Amino acid sequence: MTIRDKVLYLEKVTVSFDGFKALNELSLYVDPGELLCIIGPNGAGKTTMMDVVTGKTRPDSGTAWFGRDIDLLKLSEPQIAQIGIGRKFQKPTVFEQLTVFENLELALAGNRSFMKTFLATMAAAQHQRVDEVLEIIGLTDQRAAPGRTLSHGQKQWLEIGMLLMQEPELLLVDEPVAGMTPQEIERTSELLLSLAGEHSVVVVEHDMEFVRSIARRVIVLHEGRVIAEGDMDHVQNHPHVIEVYLGV
């Protein structure tokens, strides 16, 4: 297997907390433009895996590569965000007092210093970018609404939109549909599906129905390692998976 054309490549990553192995020689890869779902019971290491990729947690051993030649283990959190890995946390946090438009504006890639932001004006291209993202996340009509007036689902989309403003190559999305209504879940699957292709998307999710509706490739984690991989049907019929995760 060649690792050179992967967006993300983890090899034998081990993370232990006080002797407990959150990740146990985990190896996985993400293809360019794919939508990968990662499922697994609580404590399987899903969030720890994301922490390693975004630089929040340093592994005890193993390697993590982004693209051809970027060693993620050598970079800090902000540096990793800069090179194009965006992460959406479980709990949505948008700026409540700022409008949807302003939320996206602040997420816009660009110089972050006080003076530069004080003097910043929006170029036509940046406007277009905000408009595009508003379209993608379906909040065009809410552009002038303050963040606090959005529904839970809309906040989640706005946050995905804020990630998109930073034009990441790889999007890590943690439990995007937790607490959503069925209609919102449906909108979210459409949104994530539309993002794949241009971006690589990794979704960590508990909701099996949701995963079934979007996944092309599913990875099942258990006790810090991959126990099954493939499409949803394959994974769901895998004896080991049935044993540890799907129950019965």
Residues forming contacts to other proteins in the complex (CB under 8 A) are 78, 81-82, 93, 95-99, 101-102, 105-107, 112-114, 117-122, 127, 143-144, 162
CB 141, min distance to other proteins, A: 12
CB 149, min distance to other proteins, A: 13
- Is 2 or 97 the residue whose CB approaches other proteins more closely? 97
- Is 112 or 247 the residue whose CB approaches other proteins more closely? 112
What whole-number distance in Å separates Cα of residue 133 and Cα of residue 158?
9
CB 181, min distance to other proteins, A: 25
What whole-number distance in Å separates Cα of residue 175 and Cα of residue 90?
6
Q: CA 65 → CA 96, 189, 198, distances in Å?
A: 36, 28, 20
Torsion angles phi and psi, residue 171, rounded to 5: -110, 125
- Is 40 or 168 the residue whose CB approaches other proteins more closely? 168
CB 247, min distance to other proteins, A: 36
Query: DSSP character for 244?
Result: I
CB 94, min distance to other proteins, A: 8
CB 70, min distance to other proteins, A: 18
In the chain, the largest separation of any two C-alpha atoms, in whole Å, equals 61
What whole-number distance in Å separates Cα of residue 174 and Cα of residue 51?
11
What whole-number distance in Å separates Cα of residue 149 and Cα of residue 155?
9
- The length of the chain, given as a count of residues: 248
* Nearest by Cα to 225 from 6, 2, 12: 12
If one counts every other C-beta atom within 10 angstroms of the C-beta of residue 15, the result is 22
